[in-house]
Chain A
Amino acid sequence: MHELSIAASIVDAVTDTASHYPGARVREVKLRIGALASVIEDSLQFCWEISVAGTPLEGSKLVVNVLPVIVNCGACGKQGQLASLQSFRCPYCDEPAGDVRQGRELEIESIEIDEIEETV
């Protein structure tokens, strides 16, 4: 259960970016999380509300885009998506395939903010 630490890292990074837009409120945070990243969306959502309380992210929605694992097969040269994490084999030729090309991502993709327009 390190999702609380992960949530805190997201809040820090987003707060940092949001500080360039004074007075802005963050409405939504979009993540890209690989299936091998050891982060469980449900746990992260569960932590979100308490993690954002009292920050510019308070009330924001967390959107998690989970990326499947894609391996590159040394035997047949194709790239393909693993059907499960129980077996790292090429989906085309069934040879062992340990060369992971996607699935370890742990990224903030974008944020949506409401900007206060400057008044003169």
Chain B
Amino acid sequence: MTTRIVELRRGILKKNDELAAGLRSRFTAANVLVLNLVSSPGTGKTTFLERTLRELRSGGARVAALVGDLETDNDARRLAASGAPVRQINTHGICHLDADMIDKHLSAWEGVTLSGLDYLFIENVGNLVCPSSYDLGEKIRVALLSVTEGEDKPLKYPTLFNSADAAVITKIDLAEPCGFDRELALRNINEIRPGIRVFETSARSGAGMDGWLAYLAAERAGRNA
């Protein structure tokens, strides 16, 4: 018997990365802007996304959403109130979405084609750790943080915040009763991801939504807002 060392130099998530690269070229070819929304459970991803879908639709944009959860289709039903096509992905215990799930659900989605969309939102499973490893082919990864969670969330979850392209602070209508320290939160986000675009929003009052929607339109048009 002989012992041999075999060099692999291979990405552990190579299969996922290849699938994600394939998705990304399809998204680009269809000219659809794809965003991956990531946060803790309870940050308000679904409420924020529902308002985003509604406002984009009323502006004439063609939008759709894939929503990941361990169980239930509650979020898909909430998002469907926006009038946009929505498809639930149940991961049954898996703590993140991966590119294969996105690929399969896009193929099986009757009535929705990439070429018929301007924007596709992917609401990830509520988790601030695991989704950061899995590329879904998105152009923009958005990390969300609510004023009720504490200003140090970016410091506690640097791997996720560092992988984000944009950050959204949600529920700013509750900032005052929560004693939210805005300067500290912005400083912490910038310590982890220097220079990142940050949007301060309330899906309930509509505050900050205009800036967010302008950013989406500019990103889709391929220019910087």
List residues of chain A with CB under 8 Å of any chain B CB: 1-2, 5-6, 9-10, 12-14, 17, 21, 24, 27, 31, 36-39, 85-89, 96-98, 100, 104, 106-117
Query: Is B1 located at the chain interface by the 8 A CB criterion?
Result: yes
**Are B130 and A2 touching (Cβ within 8 A)?**
yes
The residues of B that contact A21 with a CB separation of less than 8 Å are 4, 6
Number of interface residues of B (CB under 8 A): 37
Q: What's the least CB distance linking B50 to chain A, in Å?
A: 27
Closest to A105 in B: B11
Measured between alpha carbons, how far is A5 from B155 in the docked complex, in Å? 25
Interface residues of B in 143-176 (CB under 8 A from A): 155, 158-160, 162-163
Point out the residue from B4, B94, B160, B192 that lies within 8 Å of A88, measured CB to CB: B192
List residues of chain B with CB under 8 Å of any chain A CB: 1-16, 94-96, 98, 129-130, 132-133, 155, 158-160, 162-163, 190-196
Point out the residue from A36, A38, A86 that lies within 8 Å of B155, measured CB to CB: A86
A13-B14 contact, Cβ under 8 Å, with A38-B159, A113-B3, A115-B1: yes
**Are A100 and B4 touching (Cβ within 8 A)?**
no
Measured between alpha carbons, how far is A53 from B117 in the docked complex, in Å? 45
Most chain A C-beta atoms within 10 Å of own C-beta, residue among B12, B98, B162, B190: B12
